[in-house]
Amino acid sequence: MTMGLSDHATKMLLLIDGYNLLHSGRTLVKLNSIELQWERERLIQRLSVYRQARPSEILVVFDGWQAGWSTEKREKKKGIGLIFSRIGEKADEVIKRLIREKGSGAVVVTSDREIAKYAGRLSVPVISSEQFETKLDRTDFRSEEESDESEEERGFKKKGPSRRPSKKEKRLKLALKKL
């Protein structure tokens, strides 16, 4: 039981400003609701791959303040926690609340100066959306390389059960090939 507690303590919590990361490095283009949904799904997939490479708890906060629900909506997709702020509440407010609750055990991903300043006052580290986007790109690239290597290695017989990829790894590789 002690092992489970120490594992939990070492897991990093990433608090991500969803739309801020989604739009990092892009010129602001107004997306319709279907395009926005597709972009969110693509981001969730990329974060899921990142989570496989670097086990961590990931919470992505999206604005729902203009066209959301009367209460905050929480869900989990592909191991990624999603929070949509309620109508009238901006994602920034939710992120600040989570920074207060989670404290120094979190890392915030945002390029929003106000959130970064707030996190800094509470000694919570901040990574800009652009920096994290670069990390995501590297993780995506490595995953593609790994799947290419496994295709090249098909001619070689792997020895012993410890060398075989798990069912989870096989499903992940299959999903990456489809992207």
Kindly state whether residues 13 and 97 are assigned to the same domain: yes
What is the per-residue DSSP string for 146-176? HHHHHHHGGGSPPPSGGGSPPHHHHHHHHHH
Kindly state whether residues 13 and 65 are assigned to the same domain: yes
Boundaries of domain holding 77: 2-132
| pTM as predicted | 0.69
Counted domains in the chain: 2
What's the length of the chain?
Answer: 179
The pLDDT of residue 9: 46
158 part of a folded domain = yes
Kindly state whether residues 93 and 160 are assigned to the same domain: no
Kindly state whether residues 102 and 25 are assigned to the same domain: yes
The pLDDT of residue 136: 85
170 part of a folded domain = yes
9 part of a folded domain = yes
83 part of a folded domain = yes
Kindly state whether residues 128 and 42 are assigned to the same domain: yes
Distance CA 104, CA 124 (A): 5
**What is the CATH number for 81?**
3.40.50
Kindly state whether residues 44 and 18 are assigned to the same domain: yes
Residues of the chain with pLDDT under 70: 1-10, 26-29, 65-69, 140-179
137 part of a folded domain = no
The pLDDT of residue 166: 65
Kindly state whether residues 17 and 91 are assigned to the same domain: yes
Q: Residue 172: what residue type?
A: L
